[in-house]
Amino acid sequence: MEPNINNKDHEKREDEEEDQYGVLLYYKYTQIPDLDELFTFYHSNCYSLSLLGRVRISPLGVNVTVGGKLSALKKHIAEVESNSLFHGTDFKLAACGRPLNDKVAEECGFTSLSIRIVKELVTLSSNPLLKSPEFSDAGKHLSADEFHSMLQRAGQLDKESTERDRDLVLLDARNLYETRIGKFHTPDVETLDPGIRQYSDLPSWIDDNSDQLQGKNVLMYCTGGIRCEMASAYIRSKGAGYENVFQLFGGIQRYLEQFPDGGFFRGKNFVFDHRISVGSSDANILGTCLLCGVSFDDYSSRLRCSYCRMLVLVCDSCQRKGSVYVCELCKNHHKGVELVSSSENGRLSSMPQQIERETVSSDAKPSSQLPWRQAVGSPPRKLRILCLHGFRQNASSFKGRTASLAKKLKNIAELVFVDAPHELPFIYQPSVVTESHKNCTSLPSSLLQQSPPPPPSEHCRKKFAWFVAPDFRGKSESESDNLDREWKMGDGPFDPLQYQQQTAGFEESLAYIKTVYAQEGPFDGLLGFSQGAAMAAALVCAQQTRRRLLQTGEMEYGFVILCSGFGLTKLMEVEEEKIQMLKCPSLHIFGSDHGKDRQIANQASRKLASLFDEGCSVTIEHDSGHIIPTRPPYIDQVKDFLGPFL
């Protein structure tokens, strides 16, 4: 009997499928009752099936990206589906080739199997003190067909489309390196591209641009859907006007499967596995080379920004061995920084103008890496903290006053000190005889006849301030450079409440700190003492309210430390309305009710602390004076606050 040729062909195809490689992506938000049990399952199952990739398990669900033979991936799906926790999970399985090379495989995590128990599946905020929104509050899921239909009706803008259909805004929840090569485009529908470096930057962008979302029907999308879960819940948590948030179920990947020609999506979908990107039948290229601007969207070379390590697009013609590259975000942050070949000097050019500063660190040379990225093999990074001194101080004196703090934080932080922009006149007060003493018959006549003491004869360093009195007249350049500066006698006794009247000069100080950031930044956080704390608080307020037109990413920092701080009412109000809670992570250090701080009242520091969201603020009250205490337990509390930002 002759063999059945059709059966042989079928068996051959099955054998080929057995050997064909594939990638599987899925996530599921659900309460996990036993993390260890689920970890054991994934460890046993994935190793037995020879799967490689990443498995992340949290108390609220799983996020999985694994690769292997298609037959093994199908067996894995069947095992997972048998667990009632995963009913309704969207398994995205795709056949594909194996990784192009070892470098791509290693970067995408496909050279080994990594299974971890984590706190969050995706980190919505870099602020470790802020709670994530409830995933149950996520936006309504729309299928690819429903998503497409809403865009189609909104784009037509005819009589048949309702007002609801027309009042749409598209929000891309992905990072800049992803949106470079592909995004949705619909005529007459606004698409918001936050242009962020990492997902944890998205909440800040939402806060700064909430007016573009309020009262709108927000359609969100991302690669596979998981990032939209938390991001949509975050938007909805803002309350009235933010209820109508929708998300593309299954993400761009499911949309392109439903619309192979691309539909309203242009370019390619960046993916976090060795495939790098997935396109449609539309061959148009959306990305461009960072250097020459030619159409280009191939990330297979895995070139990265030499500053922040974000992926960059550099075409084959522009690639040079040993070159360093600066992404668009770092170019905006470091104005004037250009691409330099390492064959010339191996370094990035710096800005010509320099800010006078003093740095405290145990490192001999500052790192060229941005503080939020660390080079492979480099020593543990330190937090860079910009320190703002108090009234009538300077960088040098504040450095001296905080020497103990710098020493005890030397393993985790680098303190950078700068002078404030407003130079103050030298003032002295007679301390021997006052007008009231002249009528005192008990004082010797020789003492009554003495003149006020002369000012110190030795050279004194300049003193500066962040805020000055409204009638303050700054020094001219010639006066400022004069070494024999004129001393002035005070017109009255020292007023301990003078800081309340020093409300002018913020615009100049803001512009100055922007320059500091451009030349010396970035910084992980700010530390302000007394008036410097008031300045730091005003910066937080300005960023949250956008009152001072601070651009997103212009002055990034993760936290503030406010020591003996106070708030200036004039600067902490916006259009005569009290500000909402400030959501920046904050550490407040000030004297207790029975402390010895005679400069800034406990009530003033406590009132400033009350303006910050208690969910992300920490308060340390001490029994010392107008200082930053560094003895235990205070220094331990400072280290505990800084720990999550390392």
Residues recognised as catalytic: 222
Residue whose structure tokens are 């550099």: 314
Q: What are residue 547's phi and psi, to 5 degrees? A: -60, -35
Pair 213, 171: CB distance under 8 Å: yes
The amino acid at residue 350 is S
Interstrand relation of 92-95 and 21-29 (parallel, antiparallel or unpaired): antiparallel
What tokens were used for 406? Answer: 């710098």
DSSP structural state of residue 384: E
Three-state SS letters, 351-370: CCCCCCEEEECCCCCCCCCC
Q: Report CA dihedral (484, 485, 489, 490) to the nearest 10 degrees.
A: -150
Sorted by sequence, the CB contacts under 8 Å of residue 294 that are 6+ apart come out as: 288, 315, 317
Rounded CA gap, 193 and 185, in Å? 11
CA atoms within 13 A on the CB side of 354: 5
Both structure tokens of 293: 């601007």
**Helices and strands (H and E) in the chain: how many:** 20, 26
The tokens for 522 are: 């970035």
Helices (H), 492-577: 506-520, 531-545
DSSP state of 325: -
Q: Which residue has the tokens 């710098």?
A: 406
What is the rounded CA–CA span in Å between residue 91 and residue 110?
19
Question: 464 burial class (0-12, 13-18, 19+ CB within 10 angstroms)?
Answer: buried
Tokens linked to 42 = 């994934």
Q: How many CB atoms lie within 10 A of CB 11?
A: 11
Q: Which two tokens stand for residue 262?
A: 């691309």
Instruction: Tell me whether the omega of the peptide bond preceding residue 470 falls within 30 degrees of 0, making it cis.
Output: no
Confirm if 336 and 348 have CB atoms less than 8 A apart: no
Cα 412 from Cα 362, distance rounded (Å): 10
Burial track 562-586 (b if 16+ CB lie within 10 A, e otherwise): bbbbbbbeebbeeeeeebeebbbbb
Residue 261: how many CB atoms within 10 A of its CB? 9
Q: How many residues does the chain have?
A: 646
Contact (CB, 8 A) for 542 and 401: no
Q: Which amino acid is at 50?
A: S
Q: Judging by DSSP bridges, how do beta strands 586-591 and 525-529 pair with one another?
A: unpaired
Contacts of residue 255, Cβ cutoff 8 Å, sequence gap at least 6: 144, 147, 148, 221, 248, 263, 265
DSSP letters spanning 555-607: S--SEEEEES----TTTSEETTEE---B-S-EEEEEE-TTS---SS-HHHHHH
